[in-house]
C-alpha cells in the first residue's frame, strides 16, 4: 500500500504517524507532504527518515490512500485532484463534510457507507466524533428526540497557536501567537469558531449539522454551546439526551458500554469519571456521569471525553484506513 499524508508536519499529521505506527498498519511506500515552507524538512517514522515533499510531488506518486490534514483551503485545492487519480482521500478539514455526495464517517457508527466508489471520505469535527459514538446505540434502541450539548474544548483544538497562547500567558508573557480574542489561561471563553447571523458559532453549528448527517436523522432537534477551556489532553462534553421512547437507565449504560471504542468510566461514589488528564494519548471515547434527567420523562445526561487529536482526528482517520484495507478496497 502506498500512503500519503498531506500536512504531515502539523499537530494532527504528527499524530497520524504515531497512530499508524502503534496500530501496525503495513505501508509499502510512505509519502509525506506539507506546505512549501516545510519542503525538505525531515520526519522520522519507524526507524526511517523521510523528507517532506510538495503536494504536486505527492500527487504524482499516485498514492492508494491520502490522509489530508492541511486545512480547508488546501483541501479544496487538492483533494479532488487526488481522488481523480484514484486515491482514497480521507479529509480532516470541513471542506467536504456537508457535501451530500461525500460520506462523513466515524467507523464504529457508519463505516458501511464506504464502498469502492467512495474516493473522498470526510473526517468529522473532533467534538462531533466523540459525541456520536455513544449516541449510536441509544438512537437505535430508543430514538433520539433532542440533544443539548455543552462542550469544554482543549486548546489543542486550536492548533499550535492555542497551545502557545496559553503557555505564554501562564509564564506572564505577551503571546507570540494568538488563537483567541481573550486570555485563555485561568479563563473560559464561550466562543469556538466564527459567529454566524443566528448568534451561534461555526463550531456549534458543526455539532448540529454533522450529528444529523452521521446519525441519518435530519429532523433531530440539537442545540449546542462551545466553550474553550485552559486544558490540553482532550475535549469534554456535557450531553443531555431526550429519547422518543421510554428507557431503562441500566440498559442504557450497558448499551453505551457495549459500543466498540467506548470505555465507560462511571463510578461517581469513588470519584471516578473521565477527565482530559486521563484520556490524553488514548484512542477511545470515555463516558461517565450517566444518569437520568429527572426534569423530563425520557431524559438522560452523560459526560463524554476524548483526546481530540487522536479519536477526534488522527485515530478516526487511521481507523478508516484500516477499514479500507480490511474490506480489500486497496
pLDDT, residue 134, reads 98
Strands 285-293 and 2-6: unpaired
Which residues lie closer than 8 Å to 5 by C-beta, 6 or more apart? 13, 16, 17, 30, 31, 32, 33, 66, 67, 69
Put the strands of the sheet holding 144-153 in their side by side order. 221-228, 144-153, 235-243, 299-306, 285-293, 262-264
- Binned average pLDDT, 10 residues per bin, the chain of 330 residues: 96 96 96 94 94 97 96 96 98 97 98 96 98 98 98 96 97 96 98 97 98 97 98 97 98 98 97 97 98 97 98 98 96
Annotated catalytic residues are: 126, 235
pLDDT, residue 208, reads 98
Distance from C-alpha of 164 to C-alpha of 169, rounded to nearest angstrom: 8
- In the chain, domain spans: 2-124+313-326, 127-308
pLDDT, residue 59, reads 98
CATH class of the domain comprising 127-308: alpha beta
pLDDT, residue 111, reads 97
pLDDT, residue 287, reads 98
Distance from C-alpha of 259 to C-alpha of 11, rounded to nearest angstrom: 28
Q: What is the pLDDT of residues 72-88, one digit of tens each?
A: 999 999 999 999 999 99
Q: What is the pLDDT of residues 111-163, one digit of tens each?
A: 999 999 999 999 999 999 999 999 999 999 999 999 999 999 999 999 999 99
- pTM value is 0.96
CB 156, CB 232: distance < 8 Å: yes
2-124+313-326: in CATH 3.40.50.720: yes
pLDDT, residue 101, reads 96
pLDDT, residue 268, reads 95
Amino acid at each position: 500500500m502506498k500512503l500519503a499524508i498531506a500536512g504531515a508536519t502539523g499537530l494532527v499529521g504528527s499524530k497520524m504517524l504515531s497512530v499508524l505506527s502503534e496500530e501496525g498498519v503495513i505501508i509499502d511506500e510512505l509519502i509525506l507532504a506539507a506546505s512549501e515552507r516545510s519542503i525538505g524538512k525531515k520526519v522520522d517514522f519507524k526507524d526511517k527518515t523521510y523528507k517532506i515533499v510538495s503536494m504536486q510531488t505527492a500527487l504524482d506518486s499516485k498514492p492508494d490512500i491520502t490522509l489530508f490534514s492541511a486545512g480547508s483551503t488546501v483541501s479544496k485545492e487538492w483533494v479532488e485532484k487526488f481522488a481523480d487519480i484514484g486515491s482514497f482521500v480521507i479529509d480532516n478539514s470541513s471542506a467536504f463534510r456537508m457535501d451530500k455526495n461525500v460520506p462523513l464517517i466515524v467507523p464504529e457508527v457508519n463505516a458501511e457507507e464506504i464502498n469502492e466508489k467512495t474516493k473522498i471520505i470526510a473526517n468529522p469535527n473532533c467534538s462531533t466524533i466523540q459525541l456520536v459514538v455513544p449516541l449510536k446505540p441509544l438512537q437505535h434502541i430508543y430514538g433520539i428526540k433532542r440533544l443539548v450539548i455543552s462542550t469544554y474544548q482543549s486548546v489543542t483544538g486550536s492548533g499550535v497557536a492555542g497551545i502557545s497562547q496559553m503557555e505564554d500567558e501562564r509564564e506572564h508573557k505577551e503571546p507570540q501567537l494568538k488563537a483567541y480574542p481573550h486570555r485563555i489561561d485561568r479563563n473560559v471563553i464561550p466562543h469556538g469558531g466564527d459567529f454566524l447571523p443566528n448568534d451561534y458559532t461555526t463550531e456549534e453549528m458543526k455539532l448540529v449539522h454533522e450529528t444529523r448527517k452521521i446519525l441519518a436523522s435530519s429532523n433531530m432537534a440539537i442545540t449546542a454551546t462551545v466553550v474553550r477551556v485552559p486544558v490540553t489532553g482532550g475535549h469534554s462534553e456535557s450531553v443531555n439526551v431526550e429519547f422518543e421512547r421510554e428507557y431503562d437507565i441500566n440498559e442504557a449504560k450497558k448499551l453505551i458500554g457495549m459500543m466498540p471504542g467506548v470505555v465507560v468510566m462511571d463510578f461517581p461514589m469513588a470519584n471516578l469519571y473521565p477527565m482530559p488528564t486521563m484520556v490524553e494519548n488514548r484512542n477511545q471515547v470515555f463516558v461517565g456521569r450517566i444518569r437520568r434527567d429527572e426534569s423530563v420523562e425520557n431524559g438522560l445526561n452523560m459526560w463524554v471525553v476524548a483526546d481530540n487529536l487522536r479519536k477526534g482526528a488522527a485515530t478516526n482517520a487511521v481507523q478508516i484506513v484500516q477499514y479500507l484495507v480490511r474490506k480489500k478496497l486497496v
